[in-house]
Amino acid sequence: MYKILKAGKLAGNIYEMVVEAPRVAKRCLPGQFVIVKMDEKGERIPLTICDYDREAGTITIVFQPIGASTEKFTRLQAGDSFRDFVGPLGRPSDLCTDDLEEVKKKKILFVAGGVGTAPVYPQVKWLHEHGIEADVIVGAKTKDLVILEDKFRAVTGNLYITTDDGSYGRSGMVTKVIDDLMTEEGKSYDVCVAIGPMIMMKFCCLTTKKYNLKTIVSMNPIMVDGTGMCGACRVVVGDEVKFACVDGPEFDGHLIDFDAAMKRQAMYKTEEGRALLKLREGDTHHGGCGNCGGDK
Ligand code: NAD
Ligand code: FES
């Protein structure tokens, strides 16, 4: 059992929890995720790691309820426990595993949107701890939905907050800030990391393509087992079939067909959709979801 030490609301419908998971905290790196199960019969929910404390043996997760299981998570309080807390899963961010001296030469821009702001924080924090200051754009619909502002201010001197309605910080979506920084404000970057809703990552990639700016995105398709077996998280990157849980979740955003990824995400939710995907995807469908008959 994994004890919840702290549970509460960060903003709007966004929740934060600090969970006692020493083995995960000891090994995890920015970019990785965990799969959490509330009880024996609970659904397996993938959640990105927002922060970790190796000494205290804790992991901070941030989530937005989108189904029955995550809705039940919101009712948990400090003192309650998760049945399973599996991780760290996925590959760590390249920026935290590449040669440090090479990373130090890079000018890095992070673009964080909505709940996707949570997985951006550990990367910026890790870079700051290793002497690298990155620029960070944080976008939210309104002032009330801006999260982790103080934490980001502690790890970067260049934080650009923007709200869609202009109620706080700059006005407009994150893509407008990318354009403003790179044109009117004369900034240039070697790499951009964009994490948020799929539609945001799509438009960030279209924007950065104009500047020939390499862009990494973190894909969060539906996941079931998180071990590369079930095929649920299949993504096409360039001409290659990848599985976000083991090959990602970070990929070169300029190689992703976001429209196809969003369409697949919607299709995977229905039995008929999964049956059609099984036909189209052949061997790479895997069928381990147990719903489409592919594993029978
Ligand atoms: P949101 O809809 O509030 O959007 C956040 C910001 O993204 C906006 O303020 C805006 O600046 C930008 N954005 C949105 N649409 C855009 C567009 N068309 N063009 C340019 N910029 C755009 O975000 P939310 O409600 O917090 O998002 C929830 C979604 O985020 C869920 O679907 C969840 O699955 C996803 N998510 C993704 C990750 C990840 O790792 N990629 C992590 C957590 C959550
Ligand atoms: Fe990635 Fe199953 S969740 S293959």
- Rounded to the nearest whole angstrom, what is the distance from the C-alpha of residue 87 to the centroid of ligand 2? 14
**Which amino acid makes up residue 215?**
T
Helix 258-267 × helix 271-281 angle, to 10°: 130
Separation of alpha carbons 176 and 171, rounded Å: 9
Q: Which one of the ligands is nearest to 227 CA?
A: 2
CA 270 to chain CA mean position, Å:
24
- Peptide bond between residue 88 and the one before it cis (omega within 30 degrees of 0): yes
∠ CA 61-113-108, nearest 5°, is: 95
- Rounded to the nearest whole angstrom, what is the distance from the C-alpha of residue 262 to the centroid of ligand 1? 13
**Which residue's alpha carbon is at the smallest distance from atom 2 of ligand 2?**
230
- Rounded to the nearest whole angstrom, what is the distance from the C-alpha of residue 228 to the centroid of ligand 2? 4
Q: Which one of the ligands is nearest to 241 CA?
A: 2
How does pLDDT run across 8-50, given as a tens digit for each residue? 999 999 999 999 999 999 999 999 999 999 888 888 889 989 9
Q: Which one of the ligands is nearest to 141 CA?
A: 1
Phi and psi torsions of 171, nearest 5°: -115, 130
Q: How confident is the model at residue 266 (pLDDT cuts 50, 70, 90)?
A: confident
Find out whether the beta carbon of 235 lies less than 6 Å from any atom of ligand 2: no
Find out whether the beta carbon of 113 lies less than 6 Å from any atom of ligand 1: yes
- Rounded to the nearest whole angstrom, what is the distance from the C-alpha of residue 162 to the centroid of ligand 1? 13
Closest atom of ligand 2 to 288 CA is 2
- Rounded to the nearest whole angstrom, what is the distance from the C-alpha of residue 108 to the centroid of ligand 1? 20
**Per-residue three-class SS string for the chain:** CEEEEEEEEEECCEEEEEEECHHHHHHCCCCCEEEEECCCCCCCEEEEEEEEECCCCEEEEEECCCCHHHHHHCCCCECEEECEEEEEECCCCHHHCCCHHHHHCCCEEEEEEHHHHHHHHHHHHHHHHCCCCCEEEEEECCHHHCCCHHHHHCCCCCEEEEECCCCCCEECCHHHHHHHHHCCCCCCCCEEEEECCHHHHHHHHHHHHHCCCEEEEECCCCCCCCCCCCCCCEEEECCEEEEHHHHCCEEEHHHECHHHHHHHHHHCCCHHHHHHHHHHHHHHHCCCCCCCCCCC
Separation of alpha carbons 294 and 197, rounded Å: 29
Q: Which one of the ligands is nearest to 89 CA?
A: 2
Separation of alpha carbons 290 and 296, rounded Å: 8
Task: Report the 10 Å Cβ neighbour count for 238.
Answer: 11
Residue 53 pLDDT > 90: yes
Residue 285 pLDDT > 80: no
How does pLDDT run across 137-173, given as a tens digit for each residue? 999 999 999 999 999 999 999 999 999 999 999 999 9
Closest atom of ligand 2 to 244 CA is 1
- Rounded to the nearest whole angstrom, what is the distance from the C-alpha of residue 251 to the centroid of ligand 2? 16
Q: What's the maximum distance between 2 C-alpha atoms anywhere in the chain?
A: 58
- Rounded to the nearest whole angstrom, what is the distance from the C-alpha of residue 50 to the centroid of ligand 2? 21
Closest atom of ligand 1 to 207 CA is 20
∠ CA 112-89-221, nearest 5°, is: 55
Find out whether the beta carbon of 233 lies less than 6 Å from any atom of ligand 2: yes
Separation of alpha carbons 174 and 180, rounded Å: 10
pLDDT attached to residue 295:
40
Find out whether the beta carbon of 45 lies less than 6 Å from any atom of ligand 2: no
User: 189-203, 219-233, 248-262 — which one is most confidently predicted on average?
Assistant: 189-203
pLDDT attached to residue 287:
60
**Which residue's alpha carbon is at the smallest distance from atom 30 of ligand 1?**
197
First to last CA, the chain: 32
pLDDT attached to residue 232:
81
How does pLDDT run across 62-115, given as a tens digit for each residue? 999 888 888 888 999 999 999 999 999 999 999 999 999 999 999 999 999 999
Separation of alpha carbons 247 and 91, rounded Å: 7
Separation of alpha carbons 214 and 71, rounded Å: 36
Rounded to an integer, the average pLDDT of 264-288 is 74
- The chain-wide mean pLDDT, for the chain, equals 91
